[in-house]
Amino acid sequence: MKPASVDVLGEARHASPLPEARFPQPGPCGAVGEAVVPALTAWPGGRMPDDLLLFERAGPRQQLYFEPSKTRAAIVTCGGLCPGLNNVIRSVTRELLLSYGVPSVLGIVGGYRGLDPSRGEPPVELTEDFVEDIHHDGGTVIQTSRGPVDLKVAVDFLRERKIDILFTVGGDGTQRGAKALWDEARAQGYELSVVGIPKTIDNDVRHVERTFGYATAVMEAVHVIRSAHTEARSVSNGVSVVKLMGRHAGFIAAGATVASQEVNFCLVPEQPFALEGEGGFLAALERRLQRKDHAVVVVAEGAGQEHLESSGGRDASGNLLLGDIGLFLRDAIDRYFKTRGVEAVVRYIDPSYLIRGCPANTEDALLCDRLGRLAVHAAMSGRTGMVISYLNGQFAHVPIDMISGGGRQLEPAGELWRAVLSATGQPPQFQKE
Amino acid sequence: MKPASVDVLGEARHASPLPEARFPQPGPCGAVGEAVVPALTAWPGGRMPDDLLLFERAGPRQQLYFEPSKTRAAIVTCGGLCPGLNNVIRSVTRELLLSYGVPSVLGIVGGYRGLDPSRGEPPVELTEDFVEDIHHDGGTVIQTSRGPVDLKVAVDFLRERKIDILFTVGGDGTQRGAKALWDEARAQGYELSVVGIPKTIDNDVRHVERTFGYATAVMEAVHVIRSAHTEARSVSNGVSVVKLMGRHAGFIAAGATVASQEVNFCLVPEQPFALEGEGGFLAALERRLQRKDHAVVVVAEGAGQEHLESSGGRDASGNLLLGDIGLFLRDAIDRYFKTRGVEAVVRYIDPSYLIRGCPANTEDALLCDRLGRLAVHAAMSGRTGMVISYLNGQFAHVPIDMISGGGRQLEPAGELWRAVLSATGQPPQFQKE
Amino acid sequence: MKPASVDVLGEARHASPLPEARFPQPGPCGAVGEAVVPALTAWPGGRMPDDLLLFERAGPRQQLYFEPSKTRAAIVTCGGLCPGLNNVIRSVTRELLLSYGVPSVLGIVGGYRGLDPSRGEPPVELTEDFVEDIHHDGGTVIQTSRGPVDLKVAVDFLRERKIDILFTVGGDGTQRGAKALWDEARAQGYELSVVGIPKTIDNDVRHVERTFGYATAVMEAVHVIRSAHTEARSVSNGVSVVKLMGRHAGFIAAGATVASQEVNFCLVPEQPFALEGEGGFLAALERRLQRKDHAVVVVAEGAGQEHLESSGGRDASGNLLLGDIGLFLRDAIDRYFKTRGVEAVVRYIDPSYLIRGCPANTEDALLCDRLGRLAVHAAMSGRTGMVISYLNGQFAHVPIDMISGGGRQLEPAGELWRAVLSATGQPPQFQKE
Amino acid sequence: MKPASVDVLGEARHASPLPEARFPQPGPCGAVGEAVVPALTAWPGGRMPDDLLLFERAGPRQQLYFEPSKTRAAIVTCGGLCPGLNNVIRSVTRELLLSYGVPSVLGIVGGYRGLDPSRGEPPVELTEDFVEDIHHDGGTVIQTSRGPVDLKVAVDFLRERKIDILFTVGGDGTQRGAKALWDEARAQGYELSVVGIPKTIDNDVRHVERTFGYATAVMEAVHVIRSAHTEARSVSNGVSVVKLMGRHAGFIAAGATVASQEVNFCLVPEQPFALEGEGGFLAALERRLQRKDHAVVVVAEGAGQEHLESSGGRDASGNLLLGDIGLFLRDAIDRYFKTRGVEAVVRYIDPSYLIRGCPANTEDALLCDRLGRLAVHAAMSGRTGMVISYLNGQFAHVPIDMISGGGRQLEPAGELWRAVLSATGQPPQFQKE
C-alpha cells in the first residue's frame, strides 16, 4: 500500500531556510515528509478497506529541489470568480517572498491568455506591498479568463522568463491544462514545477473534501434565501424560487438548505425529478401551500436538465451551456397554479454574480491561506503535476490526473443529503406517480 | 481492531420509521450501521498505525431500542454561551418530532439546575412552533447555568417524568456530569439514554475535530481584529491588544490570526513566553514598531498564566479562575514603552461577551443541524454514555470517558500553528535571550 | 400663514395618560401642540419664502379625542415589501398597548383584502408577546397584497369590530384608498381616524424627506454593487449592469452610487438618455473601457422607458407595467460591443427581491419606531386623513391629499445628483450628439 | 435677517471649471449662491421665530477665489478615530483633483503634529490612485493624533509649501485650532482658507444635525447590544451592561436604544440618576428582574459622573479624564444584588475601540462624500474659518466660532428621548425617592 505517486523533478538537495521549529517531529502525527492521508474515512465492515487509497501529506520539506535565492515563480487564476482567489495569491506570494526568500513572483494577467504575449497583457511583479490588502477584496487582482492557451507558446513564455514554478488556480479544465503544460515542459527537458490549487465554488472535485469559496457561497446563499423566505411568507400562497450554482453537483444548494433551515424543496443535478403527476414536484408544492401558505424552492443550475433542451453549445472553458432551469421552473410553477385556479405569487432570484464576487469569509480565508502556503512547500520540494487538497482533516498532495474526468457528487443516502431531507421534509424523490 | 465501545441499553427491536432512502446502502461508504471512522488521518511511516483508534460512524439505524410513539426525550444546555445552542435544540427537537414521531420533547430550563425542582424552573414543552425561528438567535432559549446537580435528585426528576433520553449540550464538566447521571440511572435499573453534544467555543475537545460555535467565534474575532488593526495603523506607534477566548488551547486565537492576516503577535496557552530580554516579547514588539510603526497582538485568555498570580479560586463549573492576561499585557506594554521613552498608543479590546452571544454563522449552522440529528439517531438506537463528534470528515460516536480529562491543544509543529507563524512572522518562541 | 390643515374628528376632551415628562415645555423648540415645520429649508434670496408651506409638528398631545381604555385600533400593510414594516407594526402596537393602555390592536391580514371577509383571512390580535421579536425580520407578519377593497364592505368590516383607528402602511395608492375609507366613514357618521405611514422603498413621496426602507435598500444595493464591481474588474473589458428599484425616481440608484463610489454610470428615470451617437451612453461606455478596462452601470427600473415598448398593462396596484430596462440594456451593450469587435464580458444582476425582503437596518429601525409612535399620538388626538412625515429634521403631519398625485424626483441640479456626477464622472447628459 | 457671516478671503474672480449643469438654476430651491438654511425647523407659535438664525447654503459657486490650476491644498485628521475619515479624505481629494483640476493635495500625517517638522513625519501626496480604495477601510490613512501645534510653526510649514487651503477634520478642539491657524495666517497677510469638517462620533456639535460616523456607531452598538441581550436572556437574572461613547451627550446611547429595542435602561449625561432608594436605578433594575428575569443596561461614558471622583486629569486633546462609569455600574449592580441575596449574572461589555475603527456604513458614506465635496466648493470660493454642516435636510456653512464652546445635547422632552422612554419603559427620572 503506497500513497498515490506524485511526480518530482529530481533529488531535493538544498536545505530549507525555514526555521527548524516549523518541521513536525517524528511522533504521533509523524514527521511530515513521510506521513500519508487516507482517501476515505468511512470504513465499511469495521476495518480499513484493503484497497484504501493514500495520499502524501502536505507540508514543508527539509530538503528542497529549488534553491530559493535563485527561484522564480508565477501564479495564474483561470475560469469564473470564486471567493478567496486573492487570499490564495497573497499567501502564495508571501510564503515565497518572506518564508523562502524567493526573489521574484510574477502574476500572470488574465488567466492562461496571459501566457500568450500575442493575446494578453504582460505579467505583473507581485510584491509584499502589492498583495498587502488584497485579501479583503473578492475577485482576482491578476484577472481571469476562460479557455486554453497554445502549449508551446505558453512554455516558451515561461522559459524565457526563467520561471521555475507555476501555480495554477482554477477548475478541472485549468488543472488539465496545467498537466499538459508540465508534460510539454518535461518533453522539452525544462524543469518546471506545476502545482495547482483546485478552484470550484461548486465543491465538486474528486479527492477534495472542501474547495475554497464554497463556505462563502453557502453563507451568501443563505442571506438570499432569507429574503426569499420573507417574500414568500409575507403574502398568501407565496412561492420563492432561488437558483444557485452547481452544474454537476448540488453541494451549494444542499449546504444552503441545511444552513438556512428555510427551504422546503431542494432540487439538485444528482436527483432527476418529475414535475407532473401526484408524485411530481408541482403537486408536492401545491400540497405545501395548502398546509403552510408559502414555500421556498432552491434549485441548482444543473438540476432538471432532463426538462430542458440544450442548445448543445459550450462556453470558452468547454462547459456545456445549460438550459436555464430557474426561469423554466418559475414559469412552470406560474402556469401550474394558473391552471389550478390558485392565486400564487411567484418570485425568482438568481444571485450567482452577487455570490461569486464576494470576499472570502473567515472559513475560506483560513482554507486559502493554508492551500497557498502548502502549494509553495510542495513546489519548492520539486513536486509537480499535482494539486493541494484538504481531505479528511489533513492537507494532501493529489496528482492532477486523479482529480480529472468527473467530479464528486452528493451521495443520495449520504449524510448531507439526509440532512436536506430532514430540513425540508421533502420526499426522497419526485416521481411521476 | 475494534471501534471504541459505546454503551447500549439493550437489543434494538423496533423498526425505524425513517424512509428506506435515508439508509446508506452497502457500498463504497458502507452501510452506516457497520462503518467505522479512524481517529487519526495523518499516518506516519506511510501506513496505518497498528494502534489506530476507531469510532463507530454516526447515522440512523434501521432497528431502534426505543419505540418512537412511546418515547419521551429532554434536552439541557449547560455552561457559558456558545453560538449554535439554539440550532442544536431546534434540530434535536424537529428530528424527534417530525422524523421519528416522538410525542414529547422537554426543554430543561437553566442547565442542570433545571433537573432539581427545588432550585430551578419547571421544564418547557418544545414544539415545532416553539423552535421554528430560534436558530436565528444566539444564546439558548432554555437558558443555561454553571455547576452540577445532585445525581439522585436529577434521576428522580427524569424518572418521574418518564424521560427515556436526555441530550446534554455542554462542555467537559457537563459531559462528565452526564456520564454520572447515566451511571446512577443504570445503578437504579432505569433505562436512560444520555447522549451529549460537546460544546466548547474553544474547540479543544479530544477526538473532536471541530466543535460548534468555533467558526462563528473566529468570524466575530476577525471583525474585532480588523478594528484593532485600524486603531493601531491610524496613529504612530499604535499597539492594539485583543484578548480572545481559549483557556487551555489557542485555537480561536490561532484561527483568527490566520483568517485575518492582520495580527503580528499571537500568544496562546500552549506556548509560554518571556516578556523581558532580547528574545522576549516586549523587545520583539519594539522592533516591530520600529519597522512598521504599528502592531496587533492577540492573546488567548489562558496564555501567559506563568506571569500571573492566580487567586486559586474556581467558578461554578469548577474552572480555575484565571488571572487577566489581557489587562496584564496592556499594562506591561504601556510600562515598557514609557520606560523606553517611546510614545506608544496602546488600545485594549476584550470582546468575549460580544462573541459568545452571536447567532451561529452558516458554517456552525450546518454543523449544529447534523450534530443534533445524529444525536437523535444514536439515542433512538439505544446508545448511551456517548457524544457525537465531527472527526476527519465524518460524524462518529465517542464514549464520554474518552473526551474527559484533558483536552486537545495546538500542536507546536502542526499545520495551524505553522500558519500562525507564517502569517505573523513572529519568532517560534519568545525566550529570555 | 397657517399650517396645512389636518382633519380632526372633534374636540379632544380626554387627558393623556402619558407622563408629564414626555411633553415638551414651551421654550426654544416650542411645545409640541403648537409648533410648525417648514416644508422647505433651502430659501432663495436669503429669506423665508412668502408662500412657504408649513406643517403641524408631530408629537403627543395632552388632550386626546379617544378615551384610551375604550379605544380599538387596527393596522394594515399594503403593496410590495419594504424593510421596516414589522418595526412599524411593533412600535404602533406597543405604543398603543403600553403607553396608552389601549385594550385591543388588530392586525388586518393580507392588505386591504383583509378588510373584506369574503376575500381575506380574519384579523389577528396583536399582543406584546406577538410583536416582541418581529422587528428582527424583514417582510410583514400580517402579510400584504396589492389592490383596492370595496369601500362599503371595508367600512362595514371596521364598524362591526368597533375599530376607532386604522393605521395604513403603504404607498400612494394605499394612502389614497385610506383617504377614501375616511371619506366613506365620515359620510356614514362613523368617527374613524385613518392615519397613514407612507411606505415606498423608492423614497419618492412628496413632502417626505425620507421614507422608511430606503436606507436599508441603499445599504443592500451597495453590497450588490461591490460584487458587480469585482466581477467587472476581474476580467478584461468587464461590464456589470445592476438594476435597482425606482419606478419614477432614481433615489435608490443615486444613493447607492454615491455610497459605493464604485459606479461609473447611473441611469435614472429623471434623465432620459440616448444610447447611440458620439454623445450617447454606449460610446461613453466604450471610452470608459478603453481608459479603465471595466465599468459598472447602475440603472433604475424606471429609467430609459423611452427605449421600451410598454405592454400598457398594469399590476394589481394600478402601476403601469414597465418594460425591463435591465435586460434591454444588457442586450444593447452586448450587441454594441460585438458590432465593434470588442470582447466585453457583460454581467447582469437584478437584486430587487433580495433587497425588499431584508430586515430594517439601524437607520430604518430608528425611523420606523418614531413614525409608528407618532402615528399613534396623532390618531389618539383625533387627527385623521393624514400621514406622518419625516421632514427637515422634524416629524410632521401631512394631509393625505398633499402627498397624492405625483411624487418627488431627483432635482437635476440638486445636491444628490451633483454627488452622482462627481462620483461617477459621467457627463451631465447622454445626447445623440 | 441675514445669514451667519462667513469670512471670505476676497473677491471671487475666477470662473469655475465645473460644468454648467452642476449649478442650481434660480427656482423653487433657489440658486445655491444666494440661498439660506434656517437653523431651527420646529417653530413654536405656528410661525417663523423672529430671531431665527440662518446659514449660507453650501454648494459650488460659479466664481472662485482660487485659480484651480495654481491652487495647492492639504488635509489633516485629528483626535480619536471615527468611521468615515477615509471617505472624507477621498472625496475631498477627488473633488479637488478631478472636478477642479487642482494640481496637488497633501495629506498632513498624524494630525496637527504633522504641521511641525520637528515632531511629525513629512506629508504625503494624495493622488487618485492613493485614495482609490481607502473608503473601504476604517481609520485614517494619514494617521491622527491628539493635541495642538505651535501656531507659528504650523503657519510657516503651510506657507513654505504654498498651501492655499487646509481642510481640518476633527472635533471641537481641532476646529478651534483651525480658527487660530486662520487668525494667525490673516495676521501675517497669508491668504489661507481653513475649512473644517466637524468630526465627533458623539453627534453633539451645535448647529449640526448629524455628524459623520454617528450612524455607523449606532449600527455597531446595536450589534453589541444584541449579544448583550442574548447573554442576559440566556440565564436567570441576567444583567448586561454596555458602555457606549458619549462624553457630554447621549446620542449614541439613545440612538442604539431606540434602534435595537432591546434595552431596558438607558443612562446618559443629560440625566443625572440616583442609584439608591425606591426611586433609584438599582431598585428599578431589581423590579425589572422580578418581572422579566433579565435586563440590558446601556450607559454613555459621560453619564453618572456625579457618582465618580474625577482625577482632574486631562488627555492630550484637553478633554477631562472621566471616571469609568461602566465598571462602576457593573460593580454597583453586583454589590447590590449580593446584598439583596439575589443571584444575578452581570456581564459587562465596552466596545468603544471596536466601534471607532469600523468602516463607514452606507449612511455615513453618503454623508462623508457630500461633506468632503462641499468643503472643497466652499474653500475654492474663498470662504474660510467655517465648517460644513448637515442641517435640516440641507448642507450649510457655519462659522467655526458658532460651533465652539459647548455642544448639542439630548432635549429631555425632545422626540429622541421620548422614543427612548417608550422603547425602554424606564421612568423619566431616577430619583432618590
Nearest by CB: D422 against C95, C411, C412: C95
Tell if the CB–CB gap between B227 and D347 is shorter than 8 Å. no
CA torsion sign, A184 to A188 to A190 to A191?
positive
Would you say residue B416 has pLDDT above 50?
A: yes
Tell if the CB–CB gap between B234 and D144 is shorter than 8 Å. yes
Reference C220, options C325, C347, C81, C359; nearest CA is: C359
Residue-wise pLDDT for A274-304, tens only, equals: 999 999 999 999 999 999 999 999 999 999 9
Would you say residue B25 has pLDDT above 70?
A: no
CA torsion sign, A219 to A222 to A224 to A227?
negative
**How far is the C-alpha of C414 from the C-alpha of A260, rounded, in Å?**
43
- pLDDT of the residue at B28: 43
Phi, psi of B363, rounded to the nearest 5 degrees: -60, -45
Q: How many CB atoms are located within 10 Å of the residue A40 CB?
A: 21
Which residues of B does the annotation mark as catalytic?
Answer: 202
Would you say residue D311 has pLDDT above 90?
A: no
- Chain C residues in contact with A139 (beta carbon < 8 A): 230-231, 233-234
- Chain B residues in contact with A395 (beta carbon < 8 A): 415
**How far is the C-alpha of C333 from the C-alpha of C339, rounded, in Å?**
10
CA closest to B416 among chain A residues: A370
**ipTM value for the complex:** 0.95
Which of A202-206, A325-329, B167-171, C31-35 has the lowest average pLDDT? C31-35
Percentage of chain C exceeding pLDDT 70: 96
Contact of D335 with chain A, judged by CB distance below 8 Å, is answered with no
Chain C with chain D: Cβ pairs closer than 8 A = 224
Would you say residue C30 has pLDDT above 80?
A: no
- Chain D residues in contact with B354 (beta carbon < 8 A): 223-224, 227-228, 349, 351, 354
pLDDT band at B315 (very low <50, low <70, confident <90, very high): confident
Would you say residue D1 has pLDDT above 80?
A: no
Tell if the CB–CB gap between A60 and B395 is shorter than 8 Å. no
Which residues of D does the annotation mark as catalytic?
Answer: 202
- pLDDT of the residue at B31: 44
Would you say residue D404 has pLDDT above 80?
A: yes
Instruction: Look at residue B188 and give its three-state secondary structure.
Output: coil
How many CA atoms lie within 13 Å of B271's alpha carbon, on the beta-carbon side? 28
Would you say residue B433 has pLDDT above 70?
A: no
Tell if the CB–CB gap between C227 and A347 is shorter than 8 Å. no
Across the range B244-260, mean pLDDT stands at 97
Q: Which three cell numbers stand for residue C22?
A: 414626555
Would you say residue A258 has pLDDT above 90?
A: yes
Contact of A218 with chain B, judged by CB distance below 8 Å, is answered with yes
**How far does chain D reach from its first CA to its final CA, in angstroms?**
48
Higher pLDDT, B170 or B432: B170
Contact (Cβ atoms closer than 8 angstroms) between residue A267 and residue A298: yes
- Chain A residues in contact with C347 (beta carbon < 8 A): 353
The interface residues of chain D toward chain A in range 118-137, judged by CB-CB distance below 8 A, are 133, 136-137
Would you say residue A364 has pLDDT above 70?
A: yes
How many CA atoms lie within 13 Å of B418's alpha carbon, on the beta-carbon side? 25
Q: Residues 6 or more apart from B107 whose CB is under 8 A from it?
A: B74, B75, B76, B89, B123, B124, B125, B126, B141, B142
- pLDDT of the residue at D109: 98
Percentage of chain C exceeding pLDDT 90: 87
Mean model confidence pLDDT for chain C? 94
Tell if the CB–CB gap between D422 and C219 is shorter than 8 Å. no
CA distance D381 to chain C (A): 17
Tell if the CB–CB gap between C43 and D27 is shorter than 8 Å. no
- pLDDT of the residue at B29: 41
Across the range D134-156, mean pLDDT stands at 96
- pLDDT of the residue at B76: 98
Across the range C267-273, mean pLDDT stands at 97
- Chain C residues in contact with A137 (beta carbon < 8 A): 230
Contact of C36 with chain D, judged by CB distance below 8 Å, is answered with yes
Contact of B226 with chain D, judged by CB distance below 8 Å, is answered with yes
- pLDDT of the residue at D30: 40
CA distances from B9 to B16, B185, B186, B189 (A): 17, 11, 9, 10
Instruction: Considering the candidates A202, A204, A364, A369, report the single residue annotated as catalytic.
Output: A202
Across the range C170-194, mean pLDDT stands at 96
Would you say residue A30 has pLDDT above 60?
A: no
pLDDT band at D424 (very low <50, low <70, confident <90, very high): very high
- pLDDT of the residue at B127: 98
- pLDDT of the residue at A433: 63
Tell if the CB–CB gap between C227 and A356 is shorter than 8 Å. yes
Would you say residue A411 has pLDDT above 70?
A: yes
Across the range A84-97, mean pLDDT stands at 98
Would you say residue A29 has pLDDT above 60?
A: no
- pLDDT of the residue at B214: 98
Instruction: Look at residue A241 and give its three-state secondary structure.
Output: strand
CA closest to D346 among chain B residues: B353
- Chain D residues in contact with B348 (beta carbon < 8 A): 353
Would you say residue C31 has pLDDT above 60?
A: no
Across the range C99-109, mean pLDDT stands at 98
Nearest by CB: A139 against C140, C144, C230: C230
Q: Residues 6 or more apart from D220 whose CB is under 8 A from it?
A: D351, D354, D355, D358
CA closest to B32 among chain A residues: A44
CA distance C136 to chain B (A): 9
pLDDT band at C24 (very low <50, low <70, confident <90, very high): low
Across the range C299-303, mean pLDDT stands at 97
- Chain D residues in contact with A133 (beta carbon < 8 A): 133, 137
Mean model confidence pLDDT for chain A? 94
- pLDDT of the residue at B27: 47
CA closest to D39 among chain C residues: C41
Higher pLDDT, C47 or D257: D257
**How far is the C-alpha of D273 from the C-alpha of B288, rounded, in Å?**
46
- pLDDT of the residue at B412: 85
Residue-wise pLDDT for D360-378, tens only, equals: 999 999 999 999 999 999 9
- pLDDT of the residue at B240: 98
CA distance B305 to chain A (A): 23
Residue-wise pLDDT for D233-274, tens only, equals: 999 999 999 999 999 999 999 999 999 999 999 999 999 999
Contact of C354 with chain A, judged by CB distance below 8 Å, is answered with yes
- pLDDT of the residue at C433: 64
The interface residues of chain C toward chain A in range 358-397, judged by CB-CB distance below 8 A, are 358
- pLDDT of the residue at C29: 40
Residue-wise pLDDT for B388-410, tens only, equals: 999 999 999 999 999 987 789 99
- Chain D residues in contact with C229 (beta carbon < 8 A): none
pLDDT band at D46 (very low <50, low <70, confident <90, very high): confident
Instruction: Give chains near C: 3+ CB pairs under 8 A.
Output: A, B, D
Across the range B347-356, mean pLDDT stands at 96
Return the residue matching grid coordinates 481584529: B225
Contact (Cβ atoms closer than 8 angstroms) between residue A291 and residue A309: no
A79-117 burial by CB neighbour count: b if 16+ within 10 A, else e?
A: bbbbbbbbbbbbbbbbbbbebbebebbbbbbbbbbbbee
Across the range D405-416, mean pLDDT stands at 88
C401 assigned to active site = no
Would you say residue C294 has pLDDT above 50?
A: yes
SS3 string of chain D? CCCCCCEECCCCCEECCCCHHHCCCCCCCCCHHHCEEECCCCEHHHCCCCCCCEEEECCCCCEECCCHHHCEEEEEECCCCCCCHHHHHHHHHHHHHHHCCCCEEEECCCHHHHHCCCCCCCCEECCHHHHCCHHHCCCCCCCCCCCCCCHHHHHHHHHHCCCCEEEEEECHHHHHHHHHHHHHHHHCCCCCEEEEEECCCCCCCCCCCCCCCHHHHHHHHHHHHHHHHHHHHCCCCEEEEEEECCCCCCHHHHHHHHHHCCCCEEECCCCCCCCCCCCCHHHHHHHHHHHHCEEEEEEECCCCHHHCCCCCCECCCCCECCCCHHHHHHHHHHHHHHHHCCCCEEEEECCHHHHHCCCCCHHHHHHHHHHHHHHHHHHHCCEECEEEEEECCEEEEEEHHHHCCCCCCCCCCCHHHHHHHHHHCCCCCCCCC
Would you say residue C32 has pLDDT above 60?
A: no
DSSP letter, residue B100: I
**How far does chain C reach from its first CA to its final CA, in angstroms?**
48
Give all domains of chain D, ordered by start, each with its CATH number.
Answer: 7-211+359-403 (3.40.50.450), 214-357+412-424 (3.40.50.460)
Residue-wise pLDDT for A109-138, tens only, equals: 999 999 999 998 999 999 999 999 999 999
Would you say residue A28 has pLDDT above 60?
A: no
CA closest to A136 among chain D residues: D136
Highest mean pLDDT pick, A424-433, B32-41, C329-338:
C329-338
- pLDDT of the residue at D31: 44
Across the range C297-314, mean pLDDT stands at 87
pLDDT band at D189 (very low <50, low <70, confident <90, very high): very high
- pLDDT of the residue at D418: 93
- pLDDT of the residue at A2: 76
Contact of A230 with chain B, judged by CB distance below 8 Å, is answered with no
- pLDDT of the residue at B272: 95
Instruction: List beta partners, residue C63.
Output: C15
Across the range C115-136, mean pLDDT stands at 96
Percentage of chain B exceeding pLDDT 90: 87
To probe the interface with D, which of B88, B119, B121, B227 has the most D CB atoms within 10 Å? B227
Percentage of chain A exceeding pLDDT 70: 97
- Chain D residues in contact with B224 (beta carbon < 8 A): 354
pLDDT band at C28 (very low <50, low <70, confident <90, very high): very low
**pTM of the prediction?**
0.96
Would you say residue B255 has pLDDT above 80?
A: yes
Tell if the CB–CB gap between B19 and A428 is shorter than 8 Å. yes
To probe the interface with D, which of C224, C252, C418, C424 has the most D CB atoms within 10 Å? C418
